[in-house]
Amino acid sequence: MRRILPFLAIALTAPAAAQGGPGAFTIAETGESFATLDQALVAAKPRGEFTWSTILIAPGVYRQCAVQEWGKTIFRARQPGTVVFDGTACEGKAVLVLRGRGAEVDGIVFRNIRVPDGNGAGIRSEIGDLTVKNAMFLDSQEGILGGVGGNQRIIIEYSTFAGLGQCDETPDCAHSIYLANKGQITVRNNRFERGRGGHYVKLRTPRVDITDNSFDDTRGRKTNYMIDLSEGGTGVISGNNFVQGRDKENHSALISVAPEARTYSSAGLRIVNNSASLSPGDTRNPAFVADASRERLAIGANRLGPGIRPFEQR
């Protein structure tokens, strides 16, 4: 059964327009309010590099963006799903470009983000740990994009990704989520649907936790893998529900392990308790897991519908 996140209806009824007013962005810890997100970030800076500052955002549709260059910041909608950032990207990258010590994004909707290099995202993570929850990423080139050299920890949960990805606008594809680090990436309790190219989840990291997500590709167009662990990796892929669509650019597999490189060990990667099926009328015969790591994966019991092969070695 497909899950609908509880804030979905709220998000689609957000106020029609708002550019910001005196009380649009409030620093919770001080009570100061500002008309733009940039102003709020500047005002919070004196609180210190290691102190969390919470910016509360009033309901509205904002054509703003911001770059976090310091400290730890929580970007939180006062009412989940009623804060919409629409169509504006900073530095030709994203609505939120994050390169502080840490960030949390809670209850915000990002939509219609496009930039010339094809990677317009709701969030661009460049430095620092990141938690994203109760968010929506809609009809953009990319949902969340980031590449970090250190032991970053990223958690993405209770969020919706719809109408994302592209392989037609630029030579390289964009994806719903595309992240790389040398720490751990957790993707849990999210919904992915209506992809427009690329992969739904593409990760380059040594350790993953991808659990209890819904991947509905029935209205996808020119999509590729549901999960792509591009350079290998271990951890767990469990409790997910996959529905493979008919309009695929690459329909050969649902989960791909180490298709580009064997940078990280995949030994013991646990893939268990997932369910997968083909959309009505799809007569192709994809592999549930396609493995190029040449290591021993821990593939347990998964519920696979007709036409889906359990495993393919590449």
pTM recorded for the entire structure: 0.93
Percent of the chain with pLDDT over 90: 88
Cβ neighbours of residue 44 under 8 Å, at least 6 residues apart? 27, 30, 53, 55, 71, 73
Q: In this predicted model, what pLDDT tens digit does every residue of 194-251 receive, in sequence order? A: 999 999 999 999 999 999 999 999 999 999 999 999 999 999 999 999 999 999 999 9
State residue 50's pLDDT score.
Answer: 85
In angstroms, the Cα distances linking 60 to 33, 53, 254 are: 15, 21, 38
State residue 240's pLDDT score.
Answer: 98
pLDDT at position 13 over 80 = no
In angstroms, the Cα distances linking 274 to 142, 172, 255 are: 25, 30, 11
| Least confident range of 9-13, 98-102, 142-146, 192-196 | 9-13
Q: Are strands 33-34 and 25-27 parallel, antiparallel or unpaired?
A: antiparallel
The predicted model gives 137-161 an average pLDDT of 95
Rounded Cα–Cα distance for residues 46 and 147 (Å): 28
Rounded Cα–Cα distance for residues 77 and 125 (Å): 19
The alpha-helical segments, DSSP class H, found in 199-267 are none
Percent of the chain with pLDDT over 70: 93
Q: In this predicted model, what pLDDT tens digit does every residue of 78-103 receive, in sequence order? A: 999 999 999 999 999 999 999 999 99
